[in-house]
Amino acid sequence: MPSRIQPQQVPELRFHLHSWLAHTAKWYTAIDRSRGDSGAPSPADEAVVHAMAKWIRHTDESARRAVAAEASRIAAATLYYVSEDMTHLALQAGRSLPRFVLRAEDAPSAYGFMVWGTAIRPDDIRHEGTPEAMNPIVACSWSPIEADPQAAWWVSFYTDTSRFEKFVRESFPGDPAAWQRYGAAACPPLWLETGAVLSFSDESRQWPPSVDDDHPAAAEVARWTEPLLRTLLSTWLLMGQNVTTRTIKPDNKTRTARTLAKRGRPLPTVRLVDLAGPHTDA
């Protein structure tokens, strides 16, 4: 993944992320049911899914469902790129976001994949009690929760792939060459850092939400996801105000783009969201 994602790279980034998630979800099932058979996954595949299972801390089946759901979420998403200037404004607005009412129609689309023009670093959103050991966030996805789509949505936050490398290395603590042998070839374009439920309501609420200190692990996650949700919500609210939205074509010169075009599956466009003002078309 490039150090800074450009708008025209988002469609191909989404394609590779979806492909990786779908492949990983498939091998969760294959590892469970076909271990030792001729169709069993390669050592690299096993390294990937067991690194993810360790991270998710669930059974293989629940992890498989979580990854499959994220793959579906990414596949159906409208693509957005938020400019660097607007990202900074969203961060400022999120820090001071007071009482609010949030409904499903406030989001720009029901399914979305958004890349921020600059990474959201812990220092950008930290307040008292926010964990320090979190990674910069570069993108997020969202979609309704099937059980009650008008009441709550799921939001996933992504960091760069150094997070993935760390988990592969930790899965093979006695093997310093594990990353080169297993992880590098199977590396995803982004790594899922954390996720959160975003609830909708007609009632006015105030940040921060209550945190259950009787459950330290959940409280730690909430203290990190709450300011991230603030930033996302502020981005959505700003998108409904004085901004410009332009349609950016993907980079069609890459090998992936050319291959998909030959198969009749051209990469989609991305919506570039920026502060209102004069711009040069991309």
Q: Determine, yes or no, domain membership for 156.
A: yes
* Total domains present in the chain: 1
Query: Does 161 or 111 have the greater pLDDT score?
Result: 111
Report the range of poorest mean pLDDT among 26-35, 118-127, 128-137, 225-234: 26-35
Q: What is the mean pLDDT of the chain?
A: 77
Task: Band the pLDDT of 33: cuts 50, 70, 90.
Answer: very low
Query: Does 171 or 221 have the greater pLDDT score?
Result: 171
Q: What is the pLDDT of residues 59-72, one digit of tens each?
A: 556 667 788 889 99
Q: Determine, yes or no, domain membership for 125.
A: yes
Q: Determine, yes or no, domain membership for 281.
A: no
CA distance 182 to 169: 9
Task: Band the pLDDT of 87: cuts 50, 70, 90.
Answer: very high
Q: Determine, yes or no, domain membership for 155.
A: yes
Query: Does 196 or 57 have the greater pLDDT score?
Result: 196
pTM exceeds 0.85: no
Structural domain of residue 129, as residue ranges?
Answer: 7-275
Burial class (CB in 10 A: 0-12, 13-18, 19+), 110: middle
Q: What is the pLDDT of residues 41-51, one digit of tens each?
A: 555 555 555 55
pLDDT of residue 44: 54
Fill in the amino acid letter for 152.
A
Q: Determine, yes or no, domain membership for 280.
A: no
CA distance 71 to 112: 12
pLDDT of residue 156: 92
CA distance 20 to 26: 10
Q: Determine, yes or no, domain membership for 152.
A: yes
Q: Determine, yes or no, domain membership for 266.
A: yes
Q: Determine, yes or no, domain membership for 40.
A: yes
CA distance 274 to 244: 5
Q: What is the pLDDT of residues 105-114, one digit of tens each?
A: 888 999 999 9
